[in-house]
Every structure is written in C-alpha cells, then in structure tokens.
Amino acid sequence: MNGDGVRRWSATDSSDGDQHREIRLDDGCGGGSQYPHVWLRNNCQCSLCTSTESGFRKQVIRDFRFNSKPTQLRIISNDKLYVKWDDSHESTYDLQWLLKRNFNEGQERHENQQVKWTAESFTTIFRSFKYDDVVKSDETLLKWLETLAVYGISMIKSCGLEQNRVKELAERVAFLKKTQYGETFKVEVNSDATNLAYRSTYLQLHTDLPYYEYTPGVILLHCIVQPESSGGESEVTDGLSVCDRLKEIDVDCYKTLTKVPVRWIDRGHDAGYNFHNVYVSPVICEDSYGNVKRINFSEHHRDSKFPVSVDKVHIWYDAIEKFVNIAYNEKIISTFKMKPGDILTFDNHRVLHGRKGYKGSRLLIGGYLDWDLIKSRTRVLQSQLANKHIN
Ligand SMILES: [Zn+2]
C-alpha cells in the first residue's frame, strides 16, 4: 500500500494451471480485479478487432484463438494495460474501461430496482404527471418512464378528451404495439364483441394478452367517459407483491405456479380479423436470477385444455387459489376511479388489473407499448440529459 492514497496500478499474469488463465490488476491500495485471457483477447479494442465508430466487435468467432496467452504485459502511464499476445497481436485497454467491466455477478439485476407496493403504500407510489409536461419536457418524459419501470404504474393527468392522445403519448416514447384489437382499441359497451372487457359487468383481475409470446409490456388507458354514479372503478394489484407473499406462506405453491404450464387462448373476431391465439406458459415466469419477469393471468383466456398429467391438476388449483386470495386481499389490492382526461399507464408483465361493474356510459381508449422500446428510450434520455447537465 502506498501512503498518498493514489492508486499505482500494476498488472500480473495470475495464471494457475489451465483452470484460471487471468491477468490480475492491482491498484496498490489493496484493491484489484481479474480478467481472463480469453475475454481480454476477445475484447481487444484495436481497430482490427473493434469498430471505432460503433464499438461493436469485428472479430470473427470462427477464426478466434480461444487459447491466446500473453507474452508481455505492463501498465502504461498508470491508466492503460498493454498486452502482447503469443501471436504477436497487441492490445491496449483503458483501465477505467476495464474497471467498468469488473466481473461481478448480479450487477445487471441492480440496474433497475423495482419497488413493490401494497394497498397501504399505493397512495405514496402512485405518481401523476401532466400530459403537457410529458409532451414538452424530456425531463418529465424520463421521470414518467423511470416511475413506470420502478413502480409499474403511473397516471398522466389533464390529457383532454381527443381520441388520439394514447397514440401521441406512445409516440413520445416510440410507437404503439399493434395487436388483433387494432393499434388502439375502444373499451366500451359493445354487445357484438366477444371480449368480456367490452361489457359493463364486473371485470376480474387479469393481465392482457397472456396468449401472446410477445405480450405487450405496458398498457395505456385513456378515460374519455366515466359514469358519474358509483361503478367503473379500477382495481390494481402488484403481482410482484402477490408473488412475494405467496413465497412467504407456501413456497411450494409459488414453485408450482412457476413450473406448471397453462394454455392461454383467444379466439374470436375484431376489426375485420378472425384470430386464434395460443401460448403455453406458467402463471409466473422468472428470469435467470430468479426474479419474476412476467405474470400471465386471465380467467377468460385460460383454456380448459390443461397440458399436464392428472396428478398436477389439484396441485395447480391449490396454488392458484392461494395466489388469487392474496391478489384480492384488501391489504394488497387498490381501488381508484379514473376521471375523463386521465391516461392510466401500467406494466402488463407485473400489475393485475380489473374494473368494477357500472351502469351507464363508459369509454376508454387503450393502446400498448413494448418494454424494449421504453427501456431504449429511457437510456437515450438518461444519456442526453446527463450530457446536458455537464455542458
Ligand atoms: Zn486487436
């Protein structure tokens, strides 16, 4: 350790037999990190190996030497690592660049921390933004998208009653995801329609389009007409909180819902199309870290064909009974009533939504956005606004 607190970098080949072929960087203050030879050679930043314009890798993996070994290595100017390889190729790596790529399992899962909520915390996490601010200000647009990612729900207020607002709002982000119900769709009383959302009776908690492999990520619902008497209230439940609670009280039931396949189906006609969608997936889908990444839940769209052995049927029903009891528990579920001019926006992979029955007229205009596009727009805005603040 040197006394002045300044890092004095050194690099050593810390290879130990064939198992660990690595270069070790030490900062002279007790800190360090290790970089495998194969990864370093594969991520050489020279203009032969990496595009100077896009930063994309130019190496052809078919021709890559997987067992390259360094013949020389040293730190240059205390801020770069120089390596000469056994085929005479030379690589220079910026130390800051290397440190940002420090091997650290789980770093990606912390990029966007989702905050779970229940009935008690709903009023504090349910944030509103004004339509004009989202349209005119990139800062507000970013805040809305970050709020959606963290809490999975947010309201846009004062949108007016023009029926193209959902499209306008989506185009501030990217573009609407078209489905068999159109680019946008009307939710109103329509006795011809096959979809139960188009009737005025109680609409139980569900997620939209579980019968799509690429199910829409975010739902935008613009309230145009709402009955003034009681009825038509929205119900929402944070599916992540339901999963947490289920894991606490009965982890086997939770596991059942992550494993047992369910057949999701939609068959009917709308906007001049006949459709017949089928997707087979458990109710709870996890990512490779074991985090819940998507919930599929819709009684209307769960097929009576159940692709499991007969012994699994009771096990699954026992699990879904517990899941439903938690989702509808008054400590978990939240209720509110949208006003004309509101656009409710929420994560369809996470939030279960429903609606109380009503009498009279009610009209919503809905549309969908995909998370891929929202996350891309969020990163672009974060980078633009960070640069703006520096300049
Ligand atoms: Zn190179």
Q: What is the pLDDT of residues 2-23, one digit of tens each?
A: 445 678 999 999 877 767 799 9
In the reported structure, the alpha carbon of residue 77 is separated from the centroid of ligand 1 by a whole-number distance in angstroms of 20
Distance 21 CA to ligand 1 centre (A): 19
Residue 229: pLDDT band by 50, 70, 90 thresholds? confident
Q: What's the pLDDT at 30? A: 85
Separation of first and last alpha carbons in the chain = 37
**DSSP state letter for 192:** T
79 pLDDT higher than 90: yes
Give yes or no for residue 272 having a pLDDT over 90: no
When pLDDT is cut at 50, 70 and 90, the band that residue 111 belongs to is: low
Beta strands in the chain (DSSP E): 10-13, 22-26, 32-36, 70-76, 80-85, 90-94, 128-130, 153-157, 184-188, 203-206, 218-225, 234-238, 262-270, 273-281, 284-286, 292-295, 334-336, 343-347, 351-355, 363-369
Distance 86 CA to ligand 1 centre (A): 13
Cα–ligand 1 centroid distance for 97 (angstroms): 15
* Tokens of residue 306, six digits: 């159940």
Statement: residue 175 has pLDDT above 50: yes
pLDDT of residue 1: 44
Ligand 1 center from residue 134 Cα (angstroms) = 45
Question: What was the pLDDT predicted at 288?
Answer: 86
31 band by pLDDT with thresholds 50, 70 and 90: confident
Q: Where residue 192 falls among pLDDT bands split at 50, 70, 90?
A: very low
- Average pLDDT score over residue span 169-177: 98
How many whole angstroms from 369 Cα to the centroid of ligand 1? 40
Between the CA of 106 and the centroid of ligand 1 the distance, in Å, is 29
> What's the CA-to-centroid distance between 40 and ligand 1, angstroms?
10
* 330-359: pLDDT as tens digits: 999 999 999 999 999 999 999 999 999 888
Q: What pLDDT sits at residue 253?
A: 98
Alpha carbon distance 191, 200 (integer Å) = 10
pLDDT score, position 191: 44
The pLDDT > 70 percentage for the chain reads 93
Least confident range of 44-53, 110-119, 351-360, 366-375: 110-119
Strands 273-281 and 153-157: unpaired
Ligand 1: centre distance to CA 80 (Å): 15
Q: How far is the CA of 49 from the centre of ligand 1 (A)?
A: 4
For ligand 1, the distance from its centroid to the CA atom of residue 57, given in whole angstroms, is 10
Mean pLDDT (whole number) for 17-34 = 86
| Nearest to 216, CA basis, from 270, 170, 259, 162 | 170
pLDDT at 109 over 70: no
Tokens of 161: 């009653």
- CA 250-253-256 angle, to 5 degrees, is 150
Q: Which H helix or E strand runs over 144?
A: helix 138-151
How many angstroms separate the alpha carbon of residue 295 from the centre of ligand 1? 44
Instruction: Name the strands in the sheet holding 80-85, side by side, starting at the edge strand that comes first in the sequence.
Output: 70-76, 80-85, 90-94
Q: What is the pLDDT of residue 2?
A: 46
What average pLDDT does this structure show over 132-152? 98
What is the arithmetic mean of pLDDT over 215-231? Answer: 93
Q: How many Å lie between the centroid of ligand 1 and the Cα of residue 70? A: 13
**pLDDT above 50 (res 198):** yes
Q: Is the pLDDT of residue 88 over 60?
A: yes
Q: What is the pLDDT of residue 18?
A: 67
Under a CB-based contact definition with an 8 Å cutoff, are residues 131 and 157 in contact?
Answer: yes
Q: pLDDT for 314-330, tens place per residue?
A: 999 999 999 999 999 99
pLDDT (mean) for 286-312: 95
Q: Who wins on pLDDT, 359 or 105?
A: 359
14 versus 295: the higher-pLDDT residue is 295
At residue 106, what is the residue type?
G
Average pLDDT of the chain is 92
Helix (H, G, I), strand (E, B) or coil at 140: helix
- The encoded tokens of residue 44 equal 């050489």
